[in-house]
Each structure stands twice: as structure tokens, then as C-alpha cells.
Structure 1
Amino acid sequence: MFKSTALAAALLSLSALAQASDVATILKKADAFRQTDSSAQIETLVQTYKNGEPDKEKRYQVLIRPGGKSLILFRSPGEVGQKVLMSGDDFWMLLPGSARPMRITPLQKLLGDASTGDIATMTWSGDYDGSIKSESSCDGQPCLELELTATRKTLSYQRVVLHVAKQDYRPLHADLYAASGRKLKQARYFIEQREGRPTVTRISLRDEVQTARETVVTTLSSKPRQFGDELFNAMYLSRNDITL
């Protein structure tokens, strides 16, 4: 009896490890559709819609590099000179004329439902643990539903229910939850061919409460580029203008 119980427990443990490995692989492949280069300069347009009608729009330039570092440069009239820096779990807002950076959270809104975390952080692998919850059909194609749990309390969303295509693991849509368990919004991912490969070029964010409101984050362009360490130093940024 003891041997049977031990064997069953061992098999369950191996099954759990195998699924964890599968999920890690799936998330890495899903991430590859959103972030094609580990170090890049990305031009981003954020637009809001009310009842399907255009409302507001803003432009941002996003610099990313390995190690969880991102810098958002505001490019819309009236906001030029503002910056948001993400370095690991730390987020800072830098304003022109201010001597010191201000700490903010990754849920700080930029426009509509687009937060700093939505634009500055672009990966699931490494930030979430998860399991395969079920197989179903999404928009007429076989898909997998993944239940993801944040590995750190500082992440924008503590729980994510992510649907990916079963064939190639491209992200389809995700339900995004706060630490309280409240569903904040749903993200839908739209893919086009860029540089000969399928890439997420547009993300639609819908508020869970204000369902008539939609925020669309569009990647206008992305190019690989290397950056100096100073661009990801909060004190340097507070004292210097950035020209790219």
C-alpha cells in the first residue's frame, strides 16, 4: 500500500514538473510574438475609443533592454520631456524641471486603460508561473487556456488567464486581474507580418467596468538597438535631456 501511494505521488510530481516545463516553453514562444528583439527602440501609439468613436491619442518611444529595464519617452505635444523608467521592480516618473524622480506603480495610467506596465513590460516568461487549465476553441481555432500567477507582488497583474493558439502558441487574448482578485481588463492581441515574421502589432484593452471604452496600443515600428547604462539610471535621467 505504501509503495503504491509513493509511486502515485512520484508520478503526480513528475507530471507537474512536465507541465511546468511545457508552460515555460509556451510562454517563451508567446513572448516571441510580442518582443522580437531583447534590446530595441519601439515607437508606440496609444488611442482611446468611446462607443467605437476615436477619443484621444498619445505617442511614446519605448526603449527596452535585457534585465527588465525599459524607458518610456513621452512624445505628444505638451508632454515632451516626461519619462517613465522601469528597472526590475522599480518604476519612476521623471518630469521636466523636477530635481528628483517620483516612484510610481506599474498600474499608473498613461492614457485610457494603458498603464506603464502595459507598455514598459512585454513578457510573461520569467514573471509568471502557470498551468494548462484547458483546451478549447478561440475564434474558430484550437487554443490552450493558461492560468498564470505572478512570481512577484510588484507586477502589474497578479493573475492572468491567457489563451494561446494551440498550433504555434501565439497570444490571442488575456484576462488581467489585480492582487485583490478583481478582473481589471481584457487584452486582445492582433498579429501582422513584420520583417517576415508574425508579430503582435496591436493590443486592444477593454475595461471590465466601462465596457464602452477601448484602449488600443499600436506598435508603429520596432528596431534592434543597443543603449548605454545611463539611460536606465533614474538620477541621470532627472538631470539630462534625452535625444535619440
Structure 2
Amino acid sequence: MFNQRQQRYLSYFIKLSVCITGLVSSLAMASNTFSEQQVQQMLSTADSFRLQDDAAKVVSLVTLYQHNEVDKTRQYNVYTRANRQSLVIFKSAVEAGQKMLMLGDNYWLQMPKTRRPIRITPMQKLLGEASVGDISTLAWRYDYKASWYANENISDVSGKSVAAYQLKLIAVTAGVSYQKIDLWIDKLTYFPLRADLYLASGKLAKQAVFSQGIRDDKPAVVAMTLLDSIQPSKKTVIEYQQVVSWKLDDKYYTPSFLSRSNTTEL
């Protein structure tokens, strides 16, 4: 049994230990506290691994797998430029003649032999889990405000453990596919590793995993794999086969020109 004096000392040391633990925890948190500007710069760097230039041509091959076997493939040539504008040309034979235009929060689809483009949403499916928004949007920094959330070790596509920052992305524009994104980036390089993509309802829509390769002698995202937890036997892979600087005339970025333009060579 402790005497009264020993009990006082014991109580004192317990309180001191709690204070020290709290201080260490606070210092640890402080060491990982980043300003809003720093976190947005992290996000911009993560974006740069997907797309270097504001005006570019991106040749995307989308493959739907079922039970790890190829089910369908489609090719899309995406012409993107500043101010969240993209023109998507459908190149596969089964979709020949289709075109899609994104101007900020607005999307139009032009079908062959129709006089006018129809309005669509960014969540409309193209193939498997790949949606209109997944194909046409190649940057987060314009649509989301990011905040640092946690340190975490996660596995990359090869199964290797990587020290990562988890960022919380909240949409600041109305027409995005996902209201919220949990994004994990490499702690050293800010390369995007994984993302959980949430709808406005709060439901997890899909998970994205990013594959790293080399483009123009620099590390780059060469593929994005989209997974659906409800259908684990299926996965959709978007391969970025070619990314080059490219500028189209302004006329191609107008809905009225979609039905009149000849885009077979694009």
C-alpha cells in the first residue's frame, strides 16, 4: 500500500506523463501542419504527373476487365486546354462519329447524324467504371480545395509500402463528378497513389489507383485503374498512351460547331 506522500507523488507523475504525452502529440501534429497554400501546391504537383501542359492532346485507351480478362476496349482522343475545357473524340469503330465537349460545368454529346448536341452529366458512363468526367478531366487543382489530413503508409500498385500524405479534397465548382475525394500522395514526391471518389450523397462511388511510368524522361501517371467495391470482379483501366502539347482552334470549343465540324483526323 502507498502512504499519503507516495500517493501524491504518484498522482503528480501520472499528470506529468499525460501532459508530456499531449505535448509530444501536439508537436507531432504541428510538424505535419501545412498552410492552405502549401497543400494546394502539393495538389498542383500531383496534377503535373498526369498533365504537364494546359493545352494538350491525350490519347486514352480504356479497357474493361472481367475476372482479369479483357471484355471491351475503347479509344478516346482528348484535347484539353485552360479554363476547364476539353473536346473528346471517340475513335473506336463502334463509337465512330461521336464527340463530347466540356466547357467548365457544362457537357455536350454529339451523336452521328444528329443536328444538335445533347446535354449530359459528367457521371454518365462511357465504358465500365470510366465516366465522362473521368475521361475529360485531368486536373484536380481547378475544381477542389485541398487540406492535409494524415500521414499513412499505403501500398502502391506493385504492393510496395509507401509513406504518404492523405489529403481531403472538397469541390469548389458545381459540375464536377465527385463532391469529395480522399487522395493519397507520395510523401517525398507528391506523386498520386490512390483516391477514394465520393458522390454528393456521401456514397463512395469508386476507387482509383495510379500507375507510375516514364514519359518524356520524367515520372508520370501512365494509367488509372478504377475499382468498384460492389463488383470486385470488374475493373476499368485508363491508359494514357500519348500526351503531347497541342492547341486546337477556338471554334472546336463551341457547342454549335460540334455537329458541323469534321473531326475524323483529330
Asked if Structure 1 and Structure 2 have the same fold, meaning a TM-score greater than 0.5 normalized by the shorter chain, the answer is: yes
The two structures have a TM-score, normalised by structure 1, of 0.91
Which residue number in structure 1 is paired with residue 112 of structure 2? 96
Q: Relative to structure 2, which stretch is displaced further, 219-228 or 24-33? A: 219-228
Which of the pair has more CA radius of gyration?
2
Q: Map of 1:71-220 to 2, 5 A cutoff?
A: 71-139=87-155, 140-220=161-241
Are 2:76 and 1:60 equivalent residues in the alignment? yes
SS of the residue corresponding to residue 142 of structure 1 reads strand
Tell me if structure 2 keeps the 8 A contact 1:81–1:241.
no
Alignment identity in percent? 38
Tell me if structure 2 keeps the 8 A contact 1:94–1:238.
yes
Count matched residues.
Answer: 229
| Aligned-partner Cα distance in 2 for 1:61–1:150 | 26
The two structures have a TM-score, normalised by structure 2, of 0.84
1:130 Cα deviation from its structure 2 partner: 2.1
Tell me if structure 1 keeps the 8 A contact 2:49–2:220.
yes
SS of the residue corresponding to residue 239 of structure 1 reads coil
Are 2:51 and 1:20 equivalent residues in the alignment? no
Structure 1 stretches of 4+ with a deviation exceeding 4 A read none
| Aligned-partner Cα distance in 1 for 2:175–2:59 | 26
Are 2:60 and 1:44 equivalent residues in the alignment? yes
| Aligned-partner Cα distance in 2 for 1:68–1:241 | 23
1:169 Cα deviation from its structure 2 partner: 0.3
1:153 Cα deviation from its structure 2 partner: 2.7
1:141 Cα deviation from its structure 2 partner: 1.6
Q: Which amino acid aligns with 2:71?
A: D
| Aligned-partner Cα distance in 2 for 1:158–1:241 | 35
| Aligned-partner Cα distance in 2 for 1:18–1:174 | 20
| Aligned-partner Cα distance in 2 for 1:36–1:43 | 14
1:18 Cα deviation from its structure 2 partner: 5.1
Are 2:262 and 1:241 equivalent residues in the alignment? yes
1:73 Cα deviation from its structure 2 partner: 0.4
| Aligned-partner Cα distance in 1 for 2:35–2:246 | 35
Which residue number in structure 1 is paired with residue 22 of structure 2? none
SS of the residue corresponding to residue 40 of structure 2 reads helix
Question: Unaligned regions of 5+ residues in structure 1, if any?
Answer: 1-16
